[in-house]
């Protein structure tokens, strides 16, 4: 399988995670309300899967490419992943594109779609690129051993199990994120399909990030430990600083503040993920 074909496959995997965001708007085709308990549980499952995949998948893989001594290259990657996420958040904090009534990025996106404002949509896409790029990187790096052997056979191509489950983890995370984007659009009276389109739009940078990361680790094999560490650092930091706070904010009105749903979801995600990584 040629490099171009590999790139195409990685792009499709990243695109699948973006399309999964649209699933978050689908329930509004059938129900008026989408349970906060369900949302928090999904955030927990995604967090558990991502942390397990990072610790027992990405970091484990990085250590296998490390010679004797401290895995300095992988540790540098971990730190770089954290810096990327933290730096991205600081950049977003400095961008003032919100309306006078609301300072929430999802509200800004909803208004841009409602008004058909192309300029604002382009600016929003720039913000979303900073926000969701690390998730695409994790997908791309997880495909580093594509076609080498082992893993899951799909149409004659050996796809690493880590890539399968990292793609699944990002997709699961994107579902409640899509719901959060659709809620203000429903309040504005936008059509259901525009809600789905806006949700997918919010994750479009992910397939781009996946392709860039895959190309990097494919061309620079010596930097594989850095790549695995980078993805792991970004994912774990995202879970700690975004997924968990977002879940608890969503579940603030639930009994015990949503902690039980979050912990239960994380436990399920971790318990399911760890054995599969060693298949």
Kindly report the number of other CB atoms within 10 A of residue 219's CB atom.
Answer: 9
Distance separating alpha carbons of residues 120 and 168, to the nearest angstrom: 31
- Give the count of alpha carbons within 13 A of 136, CB side only: 27
Distance separating alpha carbons of residues 7 and 210, to the nearest angstrom: 9
pLDDT of residue 98: 46
- pLDDT 10s per residue in the chain (279 long)? 577 888 888 999 999 998 988 888 887 777 766 677 877 887 888 788 888 888 888 888 888 877 666 788 899 999 998 998 888 777 766 655 444 444 455 555 556 565 555 555 565 556 666 667 778 888 888 888 776 555 676 666 778 877 887 888 788 778 877 777 777 677 667 778 878 887 888 788 889 889 998 888 888 777 888 888 988 898 899 889 888 888 888 888 888 888 998 999 899 888 877 776 665
Helices marked H in the chain: 3-23, 36-53, 59-64, 72-94, 105-115, 118-142, 161-188, 192-201, 205-219, 224-238, 244-250, 259-277
List the structure tokens of 87.
């730096």
The 3-state DSSP class for residue 159 equals strand
- Give the count of alpha carbons within 13 A of 118, CB side only: 0
The pTM (predicted TM-score) of the whole model is 0.73
Contact 21, 199 (CB under 8 A): yes
Which of 49, 46, 58 lies closest to 271, judged by CA? 49
Backbone φ and ψ of 141, nearest 5° = -65, -35
List the structure tokens of 43.
């955030």
The 3-state DSSP class for residue 153 equals strand
**Residue for token digits 């969701």?**
132
Going by the DSSP 8-state scheme, the letter that residue 152 receives in this structure is: E
Work out the burial of residue 186: count CB atoms within 10 Å of its CB; fewer than 13 is exposed, 13-18 middle, 19 or more buried: middle
């Amino acid at each position: 399988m040629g490099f171009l074909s590999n790139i195409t496959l990685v792009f499709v995997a990243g695109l699948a995670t973006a399309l999964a965001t649209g699933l978050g708007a689908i329930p509004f085709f059938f129900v008026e309300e989408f349970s906060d308990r369900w949302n928090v549980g999904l955030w927990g499952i995604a967090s558990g899967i991502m942390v397990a995949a990072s610790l027992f998948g990405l970091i484990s893989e990085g250590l296998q490419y490390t010679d004797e001594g401290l895995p300095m290259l992988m540790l540098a990657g971990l730190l770089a992943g954290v810096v990327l996420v933290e730096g991205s958040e600081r950049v977003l904090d400095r961008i003032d594109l919100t309306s006078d009534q609301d300072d929430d990025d999802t509200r800004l996106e909803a208004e841009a779609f409602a008004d058909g404002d192309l300029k604002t949509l382009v600016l929003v896409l720039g913000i979303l690129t900073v926000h969701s790029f690390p998730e695409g990187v994790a997908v791309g790096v997880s495909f580093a051993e594509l076609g080498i052997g082992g893993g899951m056979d799909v149409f004659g191509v050996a796809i690493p199990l880590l890539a399968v489950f990292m793609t699944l983890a990002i997709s699961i995370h994107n579902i409640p994120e899509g719901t959060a984007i659709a809620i203000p659009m429903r309040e504005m009276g936008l059509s259901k399909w525009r809600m789905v389109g806006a949700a997918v739009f919010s994750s479009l940078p992910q397939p781009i990030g996946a392709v860039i990361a895959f190309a990097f680790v494919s061309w620079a094999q010596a930097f594989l430990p850095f790549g695995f560490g980078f993805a792991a650092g970004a994912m774990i930091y995202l879970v700690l600083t975004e997924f968990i706070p977002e879940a608890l904010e969503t579940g603030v009105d639930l009994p015990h503040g949503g902690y039980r749903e979050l912990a239960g979801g994380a436990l399920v995600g971790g318990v399911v993920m760890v054995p599969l990584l060693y298949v």
